[in-house]
Amino acid sequence: MHSQMYTQVIHGDIKPANILLDDNFNAKISDFGISRFVNTDVTLFTEHVIGSIGYMDPLFARNGRLTSKSDVYSFGIVLVELITKKKATIRNGEMGIVECFTQALAAGKRKVRELFDVEISSQNNMKVLEGVAKLAGQCLKMEMDRRPEMKDVAERLWALRKTQVQGKQGPTIFPWGWRNKPAAQNSWQSSDIHVPQSLPSNLCRHFSLREMKSETRNFDESHLTGVGGSCKVYYEMIDGGATKVAIKRSRVEQ
């Protein structure tokens, strides 16, 4: 999305609610309602700062500067939630988990360990948890240039997952493990990863505006399933009920 597309896509709203899992626990990013297409050598500045409280990059909120590193920051918060089992949102004036986490990082490894979810913080898991914590801390750096690229984040998570599987550790922070994966994939190395230079044309099914209007009876309210700040979502069954389709329509288009 950041580096393997002809035009860079910045999601702009990375959070747990927008990370879905399929039947094999493969992660899928959803809700591109506020995403941006950006030339890779240009930084985007915008006056329309939109995102989710608790997950938005503070640099984007402060000056409207949006880059792929804004998504990296948000994903760092997701990692913090994963290892602490605490929500990022702040309630009743309490200190948020992100602030607690960054203070613990500054105080040292022992303080960070105190924040780990007790259900997964066994001694066998500690190396992996500390690795995820270190990675999250780098994603949350306020100096944008010091944050890793998302592809580097993914590679390091794969390496940590390999460490956990080889050590037969548990309870696990990667509950999907290697289930339903061919045995050959267990010997992961960075050289084994094949990243296509372009996406296959049949990866996603494309619908014309005419088809979408036809299926929803010109966006009839009876098909409306959700309303957001900048869009409406319509739901329909097509292909004789075999395929479920959600159509997001920007309010600007209406």
Residue spans of beta strands (DSSP E) within 11-106: 19-21, 27-29, 36-38, 44-45, 65-66
* Total Cβ atoms within 10 A of residue 97: 21
Which tokens hold the place of 203? 């990866």
Q: Is 13 a catalytic residue?
A: yes
- Between CA 112 and CA 182 the distance in angstroms is 35
Residues 6+ apart with CB under 8 A from 18: 11, 29, 30, 31
- Between CA 219 and CA 19 the distance in angstroms is 27
* Total Cβ atoms within 10 A of residue 79: 20
Would you name the residues annotated as active-site residues? Answer: 13
